[in-house]
Structure 1
Amino acid sequence: MDNFMAARSQMALSLGFHIIFSCIGMVMPFFMAVSHFLWLRTGNPIYQNVTKAWSKGVAIFFATGAVSGTVLSFELGLLWPTFMKHAGPIFGMPFSLEGTAFFIEAIALGFFLYGWKRFNRWFHWFTGVVVGISGLLSGILVVAANAWMNSPTGFDLINGKYTNIDPVKAMFNPAWFSQALHMCVAAFAATGFAVAGVHALMVMRKQNINFHTKAFKIAAIFGVIAAILQPLSGDISAKMVAKRQPAKLAAMEAHFETKPYSPLIIGGIPDVKNKKVDYAIELPGMLSFMVHDDFKTPVKGLDTIPKRDQPPIAVTHYAFQIMVALGMLMMGLGVLYLIALWKKKSWFDKRWFLRLFVWATPVGFIAVEAGWTVTEVGRQPWIIQGVMRTADAVTPMPGIHYSFYLFTAVYFTLSLAVIFLLYRQIKMVPEIYDNPKPVKA
């Protein structure tokens, strides 16, 4: 493994792990705040127990997310020094603001975890809300920095020098809103289905049924609403990609030829050599309609992109297809949930219904990983779209492959530790949570 591939692999590994922790850290505080609010309003102590149990999970993921995020910040300088030298002054603002949001989140989480019976009950609830809001802002700010890499603005490049730098314009680049919206909705969908799946499994095993049923419903509602909204955010994001990164869109769709009535490709195996897609379902004109709102206008194909500027087509296409397929699966399950909520409440007691959510536990995070693969691999060979190539930004320091092996071991160990802690936390839910004595909120 050469230096370049080792650096890319290490960054991919770090991002792949961190995105799981960050999604859960962004979203679960809102679950916690809702259950806390329901306890304050109803006085039902089961909601208080759900809040306390979830708060421990939030603390676990906050700690692991902080560690993995810190590693990523160091890796940017270690692995991509040329990139940071030029890009740091331009897109550094969202990273610095993200640090501020992180500190607010840490303080608020400390208040929440240790504030039981010490603060006014509504102020205590408010600190939990601040944890969620600051965590969500952290995610949005980081995504804004990544969006700048896909849609660089806020500077002029003159004779190889970056001048007239405007960090505010760079942060609010043309892609930041669509990309942040898509990522946030995906985080809610993935975390909602994952948490709901865990509680559905406990209900199926008849363990602490009242506790897990209430937790399941809160998480599922978040996940279902996000899954149904996700295609809308995906459409906004795809239109921005078509405008700013036509090579990425062409690779996503394995769209080799620019022609009227551009077809939407579903599935298939790209044959890059012969410029075709085998075993695919083609919907004539649908790609044109999705991009241009009419069926005839051509969508730029890979034939308009120099070969040296084309991203890896197969990887981008497969990742995109996986993301879309799993997103549609979650949306379908979300529709079933709404039917159960409004018309078929008996389904909530059916094993087949609960089993669907158990099977869907990892689906959202697989879709998130696939989506980030599309975002990063689809931008190649550029680290800054159209400005700087990834190969030109990598460190000249030798031996990066050893660092990659070391970090692989570290992240594997960290994952095992998180799984162990979460498993222990779930098993520690006491039977009394099902029939606690009523307490005054």
Structure 2
Amino acid sequence: MDNVTLARSLFGSSMAFHIIFATLGVGLPLMIIAAEVLFHVKKDPDYAAMAKRWTRALAILLGVAIPSGTIVGVMLALLWPGFMEIVGQVISLPFQIEIWAFFLEALFMSIYVYAADRLTPWMRIVSVVFVSIGASASAVLITDAHAWMNTPRGFSIANGQVTDVDPWAAVWNPSFVTTSIHVVASAYMTGAFAVASVAAWKLLRKGRAEREYIYHRKGLFLALLIGGVMSLATAVNGHETAQMLHENEPEKLAAAEGLFQTQSHAPLAIGGFVDEEKQEVVGAIEIPWALSFLAGNRFDTVVRGLNDFPRENWPPLFVHTLFNLMVLIGTVLIVLSFGALLYRRLRKRDYPRWLLRVLTLTGPMSLIGIETGWIFSCSARQPWTIYHIQRTSEAATTAGNLGALFVLFIGLYTFLLFATSAVMLFYFKRHPVARELAGTKG
């Protein structure tokens, strides 16, 4: 592989690893808030147990999320020196503010964990709310830099030099709000479905006391409720994202839908594979006029096709498959969550075992959807690192030995994934929920 491909592979694998823990680090605090509020309102000790156990899981995950995030930051500087030269002058502000967001999260996480027994219920809720605010703010501020790469603002380049820098214009770039909402909502969704997967798995296991099954049914219902709402919010935001792409990144929208010819009443292509020679999506189900409506809320909206742009500026056409996979996962999660909630509410009976087996997959599906979304967003911006400003080939390092580093870090990430899973399993096996539920009434 050439140096640019190696740099992208190394950085992409680092981000793919970090995003697992970072996403759960943003999503789980919302679940803890919900459990704390329900405990305070209902006086049900099961919700207090949920909050404690989810907090312990969050602490383990943050133990990996923080150092892996540091690695990503170091790799930005080492692998993309051309990119960092511009970033340091234009969009460094959100990185600086993010330090304070992390400080807020760490401070109130310490208060919540170590002083919980000394705090009133409302003070515990306030503490974990600030944990969630800090975690979400960190995600938003880091996402801001990604959004700026897609819609760069706040500077000019004259004779190869960065001039006329306006940091706040860079921060409030056109895609910032839409992208940030999408990232945070999908993180909340993923945190909820991770809990749902575990609860469904526990309900499938036989030989447990009825007290435990009651506890896990409550956790599953709460997770499905929050996961369903957040997956729906993510889908609604997807409509706004399509409109943002139509206005600011038309090549990305065209590649996502395999649209070659500029046209009004453009169809939405679902599934299939893009055939570049035939300039069509083979095997797709087309919904007439739907893409035009998605892009501009009118069926006669003119959507620009790939042929309007130089061939060397086209994104890779496999992004159509990534886009479809992301949308499919989101749709399935909406159907599963609300379908399961309606079943429970209308039938007034336990979930059937086949449904529980399906629900155990919701957490992994959410993570796959998150990974797919990030890969789509970055790949569909190619060949640009900074859209229409700097090509990826201009941003990458010229240093050698990236292949060895790639193998080394892949091995490290694989080890850390297994190690984190082992620690999580070992800890909760040594501290079963039955011990915490003993003597309580639910």
Give the letter aligned to residue 324 of structure 2. Answer: Q
> 1:35 Cα shift?
1.3
Moved more, 174-183 or 123-132: 123-132
Q: Deviations over 1:231-271 (max 9, x none)?
A: 21000011101111111111111111222321111111111
2:329 pairs, out of 317, 326, 330, with 326
Aligned to 1:384: 386
1:424–1:345 Cα change, 3 Å:
farther
Q: CA deviation at 1:129?
A: 1.4
Correspondence for 2:266 among 255, 262, 267: 262
Q: 1:161 and 1:339, CA in 2 relative to 1: closer, same or farther beyond 3 A?
A: same
SS of the residue corresponding to residue 88 of structure 2 reads helix
Which residue is equivalent to 1:413?
415
Contact 2:260 2:305 in 1 (8 A): yes
1:383 deviates by: 0.3
Kindly report the root-mean-square deviation, in angstroms, between the aligned alpha carbons of the 2 structures: 1.7
- With 4-13 and 265-274 compared, the bigger mean Cα shift is at 265-274
Return the TM-score normalized by structure 2: 0.95
Q: Deviations over 1:106-162 (max 9, x none)?
A: 111111111132334432332111111110111111111100000000112222221
Residue 437 of structure 1: aligned partner: 440
SS of equivalent to 2:222: helix
Whole-angstrom CA distance in 1 between matches of 2:18 and 2:124:
29
Q: How far 1:205 moved relative to its partner?
A: 0.9
1:74, distance to aligned residue in structure 2 (A): 0.5
Q: Residues 12-56 of structure 1: CA distance to partner in whole angstroms, max 9, x if unpaired? A: 101111111111101101211221222233333222221111111
1:376-405 residue CA offsets vs partner (Å, 9 max, x unmatched):
000000000000001000111111121111
Change (3 A) 1:292 1:437: closer
Assess, with a 3 A threshold, how the Cα gap between structure 1 residues 435 and 352 changes in structure 2: closer, same or farther: farther
Distance 1:294 1:43 in 2: 50
Q: 2:255 aligns with which of 251, 256, 259?
A: 251
Of 235, 238, 245 in structure 1, the residue corresponding to residue 242 of structure 2 is 238
Cα deviation for residue 309 of structure 1 reads: 0.5
Deviation at 1:326, TM superposition (A): 0.7
Is the 1:196–1:220 contact (alpha carbons within 8 Å) kept by the matching residues of 2? Answer: yes
- Shift of the 398–415 alpha-carbon distance from structure 1 to 2, 3 Å rule, reads same
CA distance in 1, matches of 2:139, 2:221: 25
Q: Give the one of 283, 299, 307 matched to 2:287.
A: 283
- Contact 2:175–2:244, Cα closer than 8 Å, also in 1: yes
Q: Deviations over 1:343-402 (max 9, x none)?
A: 2332x4422332221132311111111111110000000000000001000111111121
Is the counterpart of residue 205 in structure 1 residue 233 in structure 2? no
Structure 1 Cα separation of the partners of residues 406 and 228 of structure 2 = 37
The reply on whether 1:157 has 2:157 as its aligned counterpart is: yes
Task: Tell me what 1:293 maps to.
Answer: 297
Give the CA deviation at 1:327. Answer: 0.7
Matched residue, 1:10: 10
Corresponding residue number in structure 1 for 2:376: 374
In structure 1, how many angstroms separate the alpha carbons of the residues matched to 2:377 and 2:351? 40
2: distance between equivalents of 1:200 and 1:320?
28
Q: Is 2:141 aligned against 1:141?
A: yes
Following the alignment from structure 1 to structure 2, what is the Cα–Cα distance between the partners of residues 436 and 355? 30
Query: In structure 1, how many angstroms separate the alpha carbons of the residues matched to 2:300 and 2:394?
Result: 39
Q: Please identify, of 99-108 and 317-326, the stretch whose mean Cα deviation from structure 2 is larger.
A: 99-108
- The reply on whether 1:303 has 2:268 as its aligned counterpart is no
Match of 1:76 in 2: 76
Provide closer, same or farther for how the CA distance between residues 119 and 434 of structure 1 changes in structure 2, counting only shifts above 3 A.
closer
Distance 2:122 2:299 in 1: 54
Q: 187-196 or 350-359, which moves further after superposition?
A: 350-359
Query: C-alpha separation between the residues in 2 aligned to 1:429 and 1:34?
Result: 22
Percent identity between the two aligned chains: 33
Mapping of 1:13-52 within 5 angstroms? Answer: 13-52=13-52
Contact 2:344 / 2:351 at 8 angstroms: preserved in 1?
no
One of 383, 396, 399 as aligned partner of 1:397: 399
Answering whether residue 224 of structure 2 is matched by residue 220 of structure 1, we say: yes
- In the alignment, the residues of structure 2 paired with residue 274 and residue 68 of structure 1 have an alpha-carbon distance, to the nearest angstrom, of 43
Match of 1:273 in 2: 277
| 8 Å CA contact 2:265, 2:300 repeated in 1 | yes
- For residues 436 and 350 of structure 1, do their structure 2 counterparts lie closer, same or farther at Cα, with a shift above 3 Å needed? farther
Listed as ranges, the gaps of 5+ residues in structure 1 are none
